[in-house]
């Protein structure tokens, strides 16, 4: 289990105790939020240059996941080079940096709330630090491609339910001719 999400509790407690309407605090909060977001965008763009400089590497099979798997007529894994896979993952990574920044900025602009700005000062860098591309390209960790998918929020509950109900465990391999 990832306990870093528990960090939001003390951050939220501190944010509630600060009056951002007093003096220049709101200006400094906005500047800090903008600075953190600029640094995260710079990290994302730097990773993009590192991905583009990378050699193609070996071919890997990438299973379709999510809506892509549900909409695909053939559920065959896609074969691509490690560089192509990293480029595709970079798009997802950039979206994970840009979307929260845009949403929090919009929320602050329309409703004037300050707590989300303050929370993102801490949570956005923590989320970026955990990204597989950051680990692979900036921290030098050797990660297998395709990156392992993190467990979903309710995966452990689903597994416990299936065990309690006596349902057979789902296997990720192909079905054999006998079971069809």
Q: What is the pLDDT along the chain (180 residues), one digit of tens a residue?
A: 567 778 888 988 999 899 988 989 999 999 999 999 999 999 999 999 999 998 888 888 888 776 676 676 777 888 899 999 999 999 999 999 999 999 999 999 999 999 999 999 999 999 999 999 999 999 999 988 888 877 777 777 778 887 887 776 655 444 444 444
User: Is residue 176 situated within a structural domain?
Assistant: no
Q: Examine residue 108 and state whether it is found in any structural domain, yes or no.
A: yes
What integer pLDDT is reported at residue 65 of this predicted model? Answer: 74
- Output the pLDDT for position 2: 67
Residue 150 belongs to some domain of the structure: yes
User: For the chain, first and last CA: distance in Å?
Assistant: 36
Domain contains 53: yes
How much is the pLDDT for 33? 97
Please provide the DSSP assignment of 64-122 as one string: --HHHHHH-SS-PPEEEEHHHHHHHHHHHHHHHHHHHHHHHHHHHHHH---HHHHHHHH
Q: Could you tell me the residue range of the domain that residue 147 belongs to?
A: 3-165
Residue 180 counted as domain residue = no
**Is 178 part of a structural domain of the chain?**
no
Q: Give a yes or no: residue 170 inside a domain.
A: no
Give the number of domains in the chain: 1
In a domain, 92, yes or no: yes
């Amino acid at each position: 289990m990832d306990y870093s999400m528990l960090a939001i509790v003390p951050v939220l407690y501190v944010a509630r105790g600060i009056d951002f309407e007093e003096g220049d605090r709101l200006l400094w909060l906005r500047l800090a939020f903008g600075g953190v977001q600029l640094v995260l965008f710079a990290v994302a763009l730097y990773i993009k240059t590192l991905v583009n400089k990378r050699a193609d590497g070996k071919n890997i099979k990438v299973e379709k996941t999510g809506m892509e798997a549900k909409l695909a007529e053939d559920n065959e894994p896609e074969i691509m080079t490690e560089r192509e896979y990293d480029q595709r993952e970079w798009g997802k990574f950039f979206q994970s940096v840009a979307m929260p920044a845009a949403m929090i900025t919009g929320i602050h602009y329309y409703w004037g709330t300050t707590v989300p700005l303050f929370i993102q000062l801490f949570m956005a860098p923590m989320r970026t630090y955990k990204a597989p591309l950051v680990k692979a390209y900036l921290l030098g960790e050797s990660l297998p491609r395709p990156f392992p998918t993190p467990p979903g929020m309710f995966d452990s509950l689903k597994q416990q339910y299936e065990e309690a109900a006596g349902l057979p465990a789902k296997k990720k391999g192909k079905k054999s001719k006998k079971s069809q």
